[in-house]
Each structure stands twice: as structure tokens, then as C-alpha cells.
Amino acid sequence: MCVLKIHSDVESFKSFAGITKIPVYSFHEKGEFKNKTKNLKWTDYRISFDVSEKDWDDFEGQTNDAIKFLKTHYKEIKAVLANNNISSAYLDFPIYSRLNGNIVNQNDHLPKELIKLCGELFL
């Protein structure tokens, strides 16, 4: 369930979400409620894209999907990052913890190809 998340303090992604060919997971407008019960509002503009549908226990599958996603949508991602005032952009890889009584350290490594693509895109 890897997601590419992009945030901006000053620019909305609403119009981009409506025209992009990148699969949009969600977008939020600054000032919209994120939790009405607690009166919490979004403090910035956000858009998230579906990168991988792999389960949380398939980190390798998520990273392979991320490579394919970034290659497929490279030009459009580069353009949105270059042409907007972005405060943060990153890939979010959810993974289950493998820690227990016998395992005290969990390490997962990113493929060089993914690191290279992220570096080129400033993720």
C-alpha cells in the first residue's frame, strides 16, 4: 500500500487532481476538516497517489511497484514538483513490524534504482 505524498503550504492540488493521469489516492485542501469531532483541520494542501497495492508484509513488492510507478509517471511527477511550491514530497511505505522476543532489530533496504529515481525527483 505504498503512497506518494506531496504537500504544499500555499498551493492547492485540486485542479491537478482532476486532470492528472496519475492515480490519485486522496487530496485535501488547507482549512478543510480532517476530524470534525475534534475540530481538526488540515494545515496544508495535500495530494496522495496510489503507488502499490501490495500488502504491508510485502516490502519488496512495494518497492518494485514504486520503481515501475516512478518510471511510468516520471515526467508528470517531475513537472508537478518543479512547477509548484512544494513543502514536502515522499514515498510512504507501510510495513508490519517483525519485532518480537527473538527479533530486536528490523532493517529493510531500498533498491539502488529506487533511490536514484527518488533523488532525481527530489523525493
pTM, entire model: 0.88
C-alpha cell at 109: 533496504
Helix axes 74-82, 59-72, angle to 10 degrees: 80
CA 93 to chain centre: 8
Sign of the alpha-carbon torsion through 46, 20, 60, 113: negative
Q: Are 74 and 114 in contact (CB under 8 A)?
A: no
Instruction: Quote the cell numbers at residue 76.
Output: 508528470
Per the CB < 8 A criterion, the answer to whether 40 and 28 are in contact is no
Please list the pLDDT of the chain residue by residue as tens digits (123 residues): 999 999 999 989 998 999 999 999 999 999 988 888 888 999 999 999 999 999 999 999 999 999 999 999 999 999 999 988 999 999 999 988 888 878 788 888 999 999 999 999 999
